[in-house]
Amino acid sequence: MSLAPGVFVREDLLRCTFVASSGPGGQNVNKRSTKAQLRVFVDDLALNERARRRFVRLAGSSINSEGEVVLQSDGSRSQAQNKKACIDKLRELVLRAVIEPKKRRATKPTKGSIERRISAKKRRGEQKRQRREPDQ
């Protein structure tokens, strides 16, 4: 299964279980297990080292002590839709980890922008000074 460009995981490595849900469904919620839990080991995802570190940071508390990502969804009354939502969450996480963020380059404000800022501050100060009562 393709999760992102160049990132694949075998379907048999994705384990999906269903448990009792607290989501929508009325009385049906007491009878059906519709909450989906998707589990996959981080090492099973074909990520390079940098993307893997970003993935672990992005997943945060979704990763348990065994190195397994546990994603849950109970937004729907259907097992299939909840499973799809879990896979979409995994795809989103992997995609955000694979795309390397651009480095921020510090820039110096232009001379014109500095002058505009200072003149705006002076105008504002003059406006406030004119509102004051005259000194006696």
Q: Which domains does the chain have, with CATH numbers?
A: 2-98 (3.30.160.20)
What's the pTM value of the predicted model, to 2 decimals?
0.67
* Residue range 43-88, pLDDT digits in tens: 878 788 888 888 888 888 888 888 888 888 888 788 888 889 998 8
Q: How confident is the model at residue 32 (pLDDT cuts 50, 70, 90)?
A: confident
Instruction: For the beta carbon of residue 114, count every other beta carbon within 10 angstroms.
Output: 11
